[in-house]
Amino acid sequence: MQIDVSAEHYDGLVRHAAAAGYGNVEAFIAALANEPTADPRGTLSEDELRRSAAECDYGIKTIEAGGGRDLREAMLELGRQRGYGQAQ
Question: Secondary structure of the chain: what % helix, strand, coil (to 5)?
Answer: 60, 0, 40
pLDDT tens, 11-42? 999 999 999 999 999 999 999 999 888 887 78
- Residues 49 and 86: their CA atoms lie apart, in Å, by 40
- Residues 69 and 79: their CA atoms lie apart, in Å, by 15
pLDDT tens, 29-77? 999 999 888 887 788 899 999 999 999 999 999 999 999 888 999 999 9
Q: Using alpha carbons, list the distances in angstroms from residue 54 to 34, 57, 70, 72.
A: 35, 5, 22, 25
Residue spans per domain, the chain? 1-37, 46-81
pTM of the model: 0.42
Reported in sequence order, the residue ranges of the chain that DSSP labels E, i.e. its strands, are none
